[in-house]
Amino acid sequence: MRQGAAATGAAAAERRGTSSPAVGLTLPEDWVAVPLEPRSSRRRAVRDLARRAEGGGDAAALLRVRLRARLEALADDAAAHGAQQLVLSLARTPEGAALPASLVVVLVASSLPQHAAGAVPVGAELSPPGRSGWWRARRVHEPARPGPAADERHGTLAVDYWVGHRDDGHVAVLSFSSPLPGLRDVLLPLFDAVAASARWPRG
């Protein structure tokens, strides 16, 4: 795991003309932050990531085009919704299979009491603040009808986290997604660790 992504969030906030603090995260080594603004940087980063993921040869051209289109749509949506950060996984299993996943980070102002259960969305699991004052909630969305083992690649695993501090007026929303719900037991601990690392300067 490595420290990262705070600089990307700070740059995005500066371009939007906001004073929102940048959310710092500890990320796996093979996760890459995508600049969301300007659009030209976003497009260039997505193109480079698609090439890294699928290779630059002619045999992978169609896969590269499809992946690039999906990533561009994801990045455009994140930028349109005011996200601070978009992070994509380039991880692979020891056998070389891809472990695709994405993370979108949004920091919102909140007038709710951050330590109260009322600040947690319905259906989310709450981890109340400890001595540090930071709290976290998690909600897991899984396919309604998970298929048999042979079809575990179908559907989407989506996990949302809300992170805040009892003495701060912001809540970070971290939205993870992977098209491999069958790897839930592998991905959830990783998502948990990244979400637990979320911190920002409190004003």
Spatial separation of the C-alpha atoms in residues 76 and 80, rounded to whole Å: 6
Q: Is the pTM higher than 0.85? A: no
153, 137 contact by CB (below 8 A): no
- Secondary structure of 46-90 in HEC code, one letter for each residue: HHHHHHHHHCCCHHHHHHHHHHHHHHHHHHHHHHHCCCCEEEEEC
10-24, 134-148, 172-186: range with lowest mean pLDDT: 10-24
Q: 144 is written with which tokens? A: 């309604």
- Residue 176's beta-bridge partner residues? 103, 159
**In this predicted model, what pLDDT tens digit does every residue of 60-91 receive, in sequence order?**
678 888 888 999 999 999 999 999 999 999 98
Q: 75 is written with which tokens? A: 């990045």
Can you tell me which residue has the tokens 């371009």?
15
Q: Which of 199, 167, 194 minimizes the C-alpha distance to 102? A: 194
Q: Which of 180, 178, 179, 175 minimizes the C-alpha distance to 195? A: 175
**In this predicted model, what pLDDT tens digit does every residue of 144-203 receive, in sequence order?**
655 554 344 458 999 999 998 888 888 899 999 999 998 899 999 999 999 999 999 976
